[in-house]
Amino acid sequence: MTDQPKTPRVSIIIPVHNGEAFIHTALDSALAQTESNVEVIVVDDASTDGTCAVVERYCRQDPRVRLIRSERQSGPARARNTGFDAARGEWLAILDADDWYTEDRLSRLLTEAELEDFPFVADNQFFIRSEYAVPHRRLVRQGRGRSRPIDAEALLEHDRLGKTASMGLLKPMIRRQLLIDHNLRYDESLTVGEDFIFLLDCLRCIGPALLILEPLYYYRIHQKSISTSPSVDRIIPQLDALNRQIEHFDAECYPGTRRRLDKRRKKLVQYIRYKSIVEPLQHGDLAGVFRRLAADPGATLLLLQSSFRHLERAMRVVFAQLQQLRHRQRNRPRHSGPTLPVSPKATSKT
């Protein structure tokens, strides 16, 4: 195999913790890119399974793969920052260990970024569940056009706080020098929501990103990857990080962005109040529930509203299933000819 150029065009950063089951798919997609001038930096966050053994096999087979091992688990934000520090490429791209790229993703993003003169580009995503073979939804409706710019206000407008398919999950590709110039890094105090805060930082410092509307990134949903119900201890740092972002967006200069940031902060505060009651309830700690309700009586309303929303969603699912059942019954084929008698021999048991 020929030596790789000294400066890779793209550095692909793959943070991983106990990803033995999926890491090979991510690595295969990174190494199969039509843009072959890449380096792949796997940052292992103190895995306790066979992840490192899998990655080491790839390192022996392809010199473009490097493995960096952490002695203690520090979270995905620090793992990504470690990858940034080790990267040598002109561009930096993120790939989660349980996801994968289409084989032309990097070349498509590079072409569009250079054609439109954007140093910051991202793409639409397919969401796929591990138990199924085909994607079940996209992150963004494609609509018309090939791409569109997104700024901080657009990110906030289309991000759905606490939902799996949210704009904050975009996996950008950015010129490395810009991250160095603006000292842009992932917030290591966060274990959930770090992608969103990083994107917001980049949009504030670099300017709008180019969003390619065709899905070129496959986001795998499985039990370990779902973070739609994080604990209060993991949400509070999100609120702190959001408050720091609000300080950067002056209401006079960024009225729309500031308004949406304030709305997001209000939702986070409500969610923290709600989770403060739900968590002791889930553990059967009724005394803890009553203590929380005594300290925050208004949280009772949040609990009731959530219960009604869950009931409403369950009723919609049941109604849709009943409609499907009636539709199948109406369209069941009927025999118009005479019914033939069944012979006793056909029904007798041997």
Residue whose tokens read 């950067």: 248
CB distance 227 to 260 below 8 Å: no
Q: pLDDT for 188-227, tens place per residue?
A: 999 888 999 999 999 999 999 999 999 999 999 876 654 4
Write b or e for each residue in 254-286: b if 16 or more Cβ atoms lie within 10 A of its Cβ, otherwise e. beebbebbeebbeebebbebbbbbbbbeeeeee
What share of the chain has pLDDT > 90, as a percent? Answer: 56
CA dihedral 287, 290, 292, 298 (to 10 degrees): 170
Q: Alpha carbon of 181 to those of 10, 21, 149, 157, 297: distances in Å?
A: 18, 37, 22, 28, 48
The tens digit of pLDDT for each residue in 28-73 reads 999 999 999 999 999 999 999 999 999 999 999 999 999 999 999 9
pLDDT at residue 340 in the model: 46
Dihedral angle sign, alpha carbons of residues 339, 344, 345, 346? positive
Q: What is the pLDDT of residue 132?
A: 62
Where exactly are the structural domains of the chain?
10-221, 232-323
- For residue 58, give the H/E element and its range: helix 51-61
Taking residues 237-244, what's their average pLDDT? 91
Q: Tens digit of pLDDT for each residue in 272-307?
A: 887 777 777 777 777 776 777 777 777 666 666 555
Q: Are the C-beta atoms of residues 197 and 190 closer than 8 Å to each other?
A: yes
Average pLDDT over residues 135-150: 83
What is the CATH class of 10-221? alpha beta
Q: What is the mean pLDDT of the chain?
A: 84
Q: What is the dihedral of CA 268, 129, 94, 185, to 10 degrees?
A: 20
Confidence (pTM): 0.80
